[in-house]
Each structure stands twice: as structure tokens, then as C-alpha cells.
Amino acid sequence: MKKYRIAPGTTVRLRDFDPDDTSLVRGGKEDGREASAKIVERLGELQELLYAEHKRKVLIVLQGMDTSGKDGTIRHVMGGFDAVGVRVASFKKPTQIELDHDFLWRVHAQTPASGEITVFNRSHYEDVLVVRVHDLVPEKVWRKRYEQINVFERMLTENGTLILKFFLHISKGEQKKRLEDRIQDPTKRWKFQGGDLDERKLWNQYVKAYEDALSKTSTVAAPWYVVPANAKWYRNYVVASVIADALEGLKMKYPEPDLSKIVVK
């Protein structure tokens, strides 16, 4: 999965990443789904081990254009997790109380506790994406936020948090298809909002904003992965594989109980 990981200091150009790429699964969709199912099963075991050991914390950040599949990724990749020890946090329009604090204040409150996995469905990166594209704060404000985010994430990692960040990369053509599917399918129509089309008009501005964010905030401690996401099954395979590999790398162990204090009668 190293081919999708952004090395620190890299200048990212999204045109260099093929959203249709499925090269790591030779057998196609069915083989990919079968492989993903096995990985998801293993993820369930690793999540139980993380919760039992109760030492580390895991933060998974999902970002992407509208319709890129953040909800679907959570449903398929994290579906094997036990509900105990897993949370999904979404960040909507800030409240007045949140606006009265720094932009990371509400984010820090949602970070994982020991033994917990937290998934950010959108995240603090909205404050260098939407805020930038819609000119909600001056440029001199949002430009400072890249380094502020890096410092924040470094502090989390130094306190035992594993951070994995995924940009779900779809093409503009694939987004068009998915938006049309939402309109035509009665079971998906509720997801469609008029604002989706307004945001689509800003595609190029969002591409530039994402390129800068990926370039400036992919670090050794908190790397970004650009995940080809036109094929949903491959998206799930890549994300699941990266998370499983990272959890395996923690070398976790089940805690040993003090059996001397246990009396069976």
C-alpha cells in the first residue's frame, strides 16, 4: 500500500493518481471482495485486542469529494468492529460556542480514548477546505492552520494515538454518475441536496485545496493515503488493508490477569 501513501514533503498533484486504479487485486471485483472480507474479519480481532490492551488509541480520518464514499467505507470496512470501543464523529456547521473557540477545540473533544477507534467522517480538514473554497475566513488565517494541524496531530501521536488519514479519490465523471444515481434511485434520493450541484461547480477549487492539504499535512506520524475510489470494492480493500497493516504493526498483546487473586469455588 506504500504506492498510495504520501511521503512527507511531497507536492501532490491529484492528476498523477488514477481513481480507476485496481492494480493490487489481479482477480478483479470478486477476488477483491473476498480478500476484503478476510481482512475485515481480521480487523474485528485486532479491534478487540486494541480494546483489551487499553494502551493505544486509533484515529481514522476520511475525506473526499461529495459522493466519494465515506459512509460506504465506514459501513463496509468498519462493519466488523464491535460497537464497544468504536465511534464515528462527524463535524457539521460550527455552533456559536464552537466558533468562540479555536477551530481545533471541538475536534480535540472527539479524539479517541485509550483502547478506542474513532472515525472522523469529514474532520478538522474542513477548516482548510470548505473554509478556503468559500472564502469564509481570510487566507492569512487558513494558511496558518496547516502547521497548527501538524502540531495538533503530532501531540496526539506522542500521546499514543495512531493516526491514519484517507483521501477517497474519485473522478469528476464518477461523481456525476453517483449524483445521477441518487436522483433516480428512490432509496438514495434522500441523500441528494441542491447544494451538491453548487459544490460540484467548485470542483477545481476543491482539487487545489485538497492538493495543498495533502502536501502540507502528510507526516511520518500522521500520513495521508490517496485511495483510488471509483471502484467501491477496491476503495474498501485499500482502506481495510492499510488499517490492518497499521494495527498489526502495533504488536499488541492481551493483558495478563493476576491469577493469584482469583479463587474458583
Residue that the C-alpha cell 496558518 belongs to: 144
**Whole-angstrom Cα distance, residue 11 to residue 135?**
23
pTM (2 d.p.): 0.94
Buried b / exposed e over 60-73, threshold 16 CB at 10 Å, is: bbbbbbbbbbbeeb
Can you list the positions of beta strands (E) in the chain?
A: 57-64, 86-90, 117-121, 161-169, 224-228
Order the strands of the 57-64 sheet from edge to edge: 86-90, 117-121, 57-64, 161-169, 224-228
For the chain, what are the domain ranges?
2-9+17-252
**98-112: pLDDT as tens digits:** 999 999 999 999 999
Cell numbers placing 216: 502540507
**123-182: pLDDT as tens digits:** 999 999 999 999 999 999 999 999 999 999 999 999 999 999 999 999 999 999 999 998
**Whole-angstrom Cα distance, residue 104 to residue 191?**
28
Give which of 133, 142, 64, 57 is closest to 103, Cα–Cα.
142
Q: What is the architecture, at CATH level 2, of domain 2-9+17-252?
A: 3-Layer(aba) Sandwich (3.40)
Q: Is residue 45 very low, low, confident or very high in pLDDT (cuts 50, 70, 90)?
A: very high
